[in-house]
Structure 1
Amino acid sequence: MNSHEFKKVFHRGNLPHLQPLGGTFFVTYNLANAIPKRILDKWKLEFELQKKAILDNSENIKEDLDKLHKRNFLERDKYLDACRNDTLCEINGELAQILVDSINFWDGNRIDLICYCIMSNHVHLVFRLLDKTETDTPKYLEDIMHSIKQFSAKKCNAILNRKGDFWQHESYDRLIRNDEELFRIVLYVLNNPVKAGLCKNPFDWKWTYLQEKFKKIML
């Protein structure tokens, strides 16, 4: 294994998080003001206590930590879905279109875009990292997400005539291990606006995208 095949980032407590090149990822990022700090602090404390209990007592640490991360994500996503803050998907769609453009810019260059769903205060995104850039340099998940969030934040803040953080600094990301998990996550993303009561059919939601080859397989 050479130095470019994996990159470690340390944004999940003290546990290193590996981002393999060529990996397929499920990413969720939300507005900076979407979840109040007091709730984030509460969740963080609960998470750390549960993580410590797993590390101290579990006979299957990897599996139990994975379940903990999933529960933590679902709790956050449920909260975000319940908040009807229309900042991203306002009637004229100007902000949502900026997000679409920020994602599509890298499709075919740094990523193979599989699906996305832009909600009122958060974004779900599934893509595969391509192995190399046009300059033959590695493509890392954190670099892609930094670019997407930085570009869209600058543009959206300009439209809203404001400054400061647009996105919450940390994003949720999950390495997808196999096709079964990929299909399950794609369905979850597509059904997010349905689950939130915004439409009856996933593709009635304007800000949903699914790659054509996946439509042929899944629909």
Structure 2
Amino acid sequence: MIDYLNSVSRHHGEYLPHLEVKCGTYFVTICLDGAIPSKLHQRLKLERSRQLFELERQKRLTPEGRDAIEWGHFLKVDALLDSPACQPVLGRDDIAQVVVDALEYFHGDRYVLDMWVIMGTHIHVIFQLCAENLLQKVLHSWKSFTANEINSLLGRAGRFWQRDYFDRSIRCDEQLAAIREYVWANPEAAGLRDWKWRRQY
């Protein structure tokens, strides 16, 4: 693992804060635009902000506490994404293959993939950045290419992915093992059987 504290910078997305860690190992989730109704997403965001504010007000907000709140927020969002009410666009074989091709195109060059799972409405990816490559740029390349290709397959135009994304910088082997277990089991947790759109490297 890297020297986390000396290699980190922070920026803020539309919904969530993001960390840029040099050569960092990340768990990232990207979901379809509109997969979660905007009002519901805003309500979850407000709930998360209130939890953080209360700990800050009490001067009890630690990095571990912030991480726990962010993870709790993610689990609520991910449960909604697995709902049968969401249209599983990514479950189509030709569309899922576009995502796989994009993920694997720069594998071993800009990043090293560890695991990915493509769900019907979102994707989970675990990977490590290489050299000076930035998380934002890697995700932009994935989202931009796949959006254009998939929109063409669907005969539509417009935004395909949600603007923001969830990312978690992985800091130790124990955390990596727990996230791997969660990601790999996601299809079964969502009621999917014999799910083929996942890979561990």
Q: CA deviation at 1:55?
A: 0.9
1:19-68 CA distances to partner (integer Å, 9 max, x unpaired)?
Answer: 11211000001000100111111112212211111111142432221111
The AA in structure 1 aligned to 2:105 is: F
> Structure 2, unaligned stretches of length 5 or more?
1-6
TM-score, reference length from structure 2: 0.91
Q: CA deviation at 1:156?
A: 0.4
Query: Residue 32 of structure 2 corresponds to which residue in structure 1?
Result: 31
CA distance in 2, matches of 1:28, 1:145: 10
Q: RMSD of the alignment, in Å?
A: 1.8
1:70-125 CA distances to partner (integer Å, 9 max, x unpaired)?
Answer: 110000001111134221112xx010000001100110110110000000000000
SS at match of 1:19: strand
CA distance in 2, matches of 1:6, 1:184: 22
Query: Residue 158 of structure 2 corresponds to which residue in structure 1?
Result: 164
CA distance in 1, matches of 2:99, 2:16: 31
SS at match of 2:28: strand
Q: Is this contact kept in 1: 2:14–2:163, CA < 8 A?
A: no
CA distance in 2, matches of 1:180, 1:14: 24
Asked if 1:183 corresponds to 2:195, the answer is: no
Q: Is this contact kept in 2: 1:7–1:140, CA < 8 A?
A: no
Q: Would the alpha carbon gap of residues 208 and 175 (structure 1) be closer, same or farther in structure 2, given more than 3 Å must change?
A: same
Q: Is this contact kept in 2: 1:96–1:118, CA < 8 A?
A: yes
Q: CA deviation at 1:7?
A: 4.4
CA distance in 2, matches of 1:14, 1:25: 15
Asked if 1:111 corresponds to 2:111, the answer is: yes
Q: Is this contact kept in 2: 1:176–1:182, CA < 8 A?
A: yes
Q: With CA pairs under 8 Å and 6+ residues apart, which has the higher RCO, 1 or 2?
A: 2
| Corresponding pairs, count | 195
Asked if 1:151 corresponds to 2:160, the answer is: no
Q: Would the alpha carbon gap of residues 146 and 209 (structure 1) be closer, same or farther in structure 2, given more than 3 Å must change?
A: same
TM-score, reference length from structure 1: 0.84
Larger Rg: 1
Query: Residue 120 of structure 1 corresponds to which residue in structure 2?
Result: 120
SS at match of 2:160: coil
CA distance in 2, matches of 1:53, 1:6: 25
Query: Residue 134 of structure 1 corresponds to which residue in structure 2?
Result: none
The AA in structure 2 aligned to 1:27 is: V
- Counting only pairs closer than 5 Å after superposition, residues 1-219 of structure 1 correspond to structure 2 as 6-11=8-13, 17-83=18-84, 84-90=86-92, 93-131=93-131, 138-199=132-193, 204-211=194-201
